[in-house]
Structure 1
């Protein structure tokens, strides 16, 4: 199965995903951004569309890579990846569904000021106008479709450890429910 951890920059996806992976047996973190980085390395460069997610190959390559990884390793893939364009999420989730891969979709949410503060004070990446530019599109997506599509974990006032525990508990509960219903 896949545990997709969505949300914008500063919500805690990378940190939380690593912690979720530690809590879920036989799980691995797959950073779908690496697929975008591969596409960014093509020479001559693909058209500049502002974000690798806009390149048509990215979405099916994420699906295919996830499918092949699960086929090879089994278990659970934890994927920390922001997807704010609804049609892109539909394409990815439909692709995974077409392979019979269940996806449990979470969104890490934090209020706007908290996101801006986290991005501005990030000790690893430093302040980033690129990351800051996604705060408003995230709010728009959250209101329009994203929060209705996923289980929302508000990280505004909780630690990444607690967010990870909540996600792992929900994943394990769902897994037990599915096994119990089979």
Structure 2
């Protein structure tokens, strides 16, 4: 099974993923961004704003998840923002084709909390402005995200509790 944690940059996906693997048996994190970083080293790919624009990224994420689950079993927790509906549809369809059960969860919080989290983040300080600049992209994607995913409001909720809420819905 895959639990895909979606949401805007700074919503707490990585922190929640770390908590989730502590409470869901046989769960491990798969960082799909690493697939994108791998592709950045391939010469001749078109220049893009975001590695998700590369069709191979989406296909490789699906295939890597499939191969990992086939190899180790259990639950993959993927903390990855996907805000383009077409890309999500392609990923979801690929996972369905491989027969992988998928739980798509959007971590959501109010604008003030999100801005405060980003501005006070001591880990990803170099990406602070970039994350703030992409809040509008998240707002624009929210209508389709709410149709395609379970939305978990993280406003005022500790990451460990958010993970517990998700785990309870995953049979964990």
SS state of the match for residue 104, structure 1? strand
Find the aligned partners of 1:131 and 1:9 in 2 and give their Cα distance.
Answer: 6
SS state of the match for residue 28, structure 1? strand
Q: Which residue of 2 aligns with 1:129?
A: 129
Tell me, yes or no, if structure 1 residue 37 matches structure 2 residue 37: yes
Report 1:162-177 matches (<5 A).
162-172=161-171
The Cα shift of 1:117 comes to 1.5
The Cα shift of 1:103 comes to 0.1
Q: Which residue of 1 aligns with 2:141?
A: 141
Q: Cα RMSD between the aligned structures?
A: 1.2
SS state of the match for residue 63, structure 1? helix
> Structure 2 length as normaliser, TM-score?
0.95
> Structure 1 length as normaliser, TM-score?
0.90
Find the aligned partners of 2:130 and 2:39 in 1 and give their Cα distance.
Answer: 19
Find the aligned partners of 2:166 and 2:76 in 1 and give their Cα distance.
Answer: 13
The Cα shift of 1:111 comes to 1.3
SS state of the match for residue 92, structure 1? helix
What is the number of equivalent residue pairs in this alignment? Answer: 171
Structure 2 unpaired stretches of 5+: none
